[in-house]
């Protein structure tokens, strides 16, 4: 039984000065594994480099974030296809829609999302979804173009009605630092209500730092705080919440158990080459 941070951007530039130390702190604090999603081709490459450096401990996801949807050319999509077949890649992500910042035109976001649905289907990989103020279009596209895909609404924000839409499509819900914010009462209700076998925990580091470290750079080790809040809301022992979310992450991402991964080579120093801006 050990924590899995299912969404940790440890390849990003915010960790360029102390990445190895951040990862070591997470492992020392009980975070046994993490999934590192890309937001474009360069950061997807860097995630794969980390997965190679920490086999069985860090896994990669390959994807183009909606903020960067204009970069998903045919050539970039072809490169993502190649990268997604590398060892250690367990998902297509971070992909989705973001109508809050609108850093890429909405029609471009939608086309990029559907294209990456196709990649996930072809390679039989789950999707990691970013969904900000875009719920109606997200659900519509999942129903029209994402039928049969499995995946997770990462850093879930919303009420029970929104959660039910995602769950009805077979998706998981992942909770991050906002679950620890006192004002998020609707989110707390969702975390208490959602089926135990359909929930995950994450940090989305370096963003969305949980209380009591809010305002500082987030790190994978802080996923412990999210898991403790989840356990509290569900009246579970912390150990039971950890065990449940670990099982769920292993199921969604088809991860080997820790025992199965024990024979992996000893981790070496990570060598990400070009970490860029976060998502």
Q: Where are the domains of the chain?
A: 3-261
Whether this prediction's pTM lies above 0.85 is answered by: yes
Strand-pairing partners, residue 96, are 130
- Number of Cα atoms under 13 Å in the Cβ half of residue 63: 37
**R_g over Cα of the chain:** 17
Q: b or e along 260-271 (b: 16 or more beta carbons within 10 Å of the residue's beta carbon)? A: eeeeeeebeebe
pLDDT one-digit tens code per residue, 141-192: 999 999 999 999 999 999 999 999 999 999 999 999 999 999 999 999 999 9
pLDDT < 70 regions, the chain: 263-279
pLDDT at residue number 263: 62
pLDDT at residue number 257: 86
- Number of Cα atoms under 13 Å in the Cβ half of residue 243: 6
Please, which residues have CB within 8 angstroms of residue 232's CB and are 6 or more apart in sequence?
none
Looking at domain 3-261, its CATH architecture is Alpha-Beta Barrel (3.20)
| Closest alpha carbon to 141 in 130, 155, 157, 125 | 130
pLDDT at residue number 261: 75
């Amino acid at each position: 039984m050990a924590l899995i941070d299912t969404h940790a951007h440890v390849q990003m530039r915010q960790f360029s000065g102390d990445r190895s130390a951040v990862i070591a702190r997470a492992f020392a604090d009980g975070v046994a594994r993490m999934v590192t999603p890309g937001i474009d081709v360069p950061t997807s490459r860097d995630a794969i480099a980390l997965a190679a450096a920490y086999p069985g401990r860090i896994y990669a996801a390959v994807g183009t974030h909606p903020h960067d949807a204009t970069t998903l050319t045919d050539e970039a999509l072809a490169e993502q296809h190649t990268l997604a077949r590398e060892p250690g890649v367990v998902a297509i992500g971070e992909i989705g829609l973001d109508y809050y910042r609108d850093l890429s035109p909405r029609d471009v976001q939608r086309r990029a999302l559907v294209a990456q649905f196709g990649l996930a289907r072809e390679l039989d990989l789950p999707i990691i979804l970013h969904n900000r103020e875009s719920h109606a279009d997200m659900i519509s596209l999942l129903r029209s173009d994402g039928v049969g895909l499995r995946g997770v609404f990462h850093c879930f924000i919303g009420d029970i009605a929104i959660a039910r839409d995602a769950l009805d499509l077979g998706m998981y819900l992942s909770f991050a630092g906002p679950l620890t914010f006192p004002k998020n009462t609707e989110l707390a209700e969702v975390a208490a209500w959602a089926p135990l076998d359909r929930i995950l925990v994450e940090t989305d580091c370096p963003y969305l730092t949980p209380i009591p470290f809010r305002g500082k750079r987030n790190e994978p080790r802080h996923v412990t705080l999210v898991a403790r809040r989840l356990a509290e809301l569900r009246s579970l022992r912390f150990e039971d919440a950890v065990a449940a979310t670990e099982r769920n992450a292993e199921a969604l991402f088809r991860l080997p158990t820790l025992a199965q991964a024990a024979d992996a080579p000893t981790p070496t120093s990570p060598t990400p080459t070009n970490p860029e801006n976060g998502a």
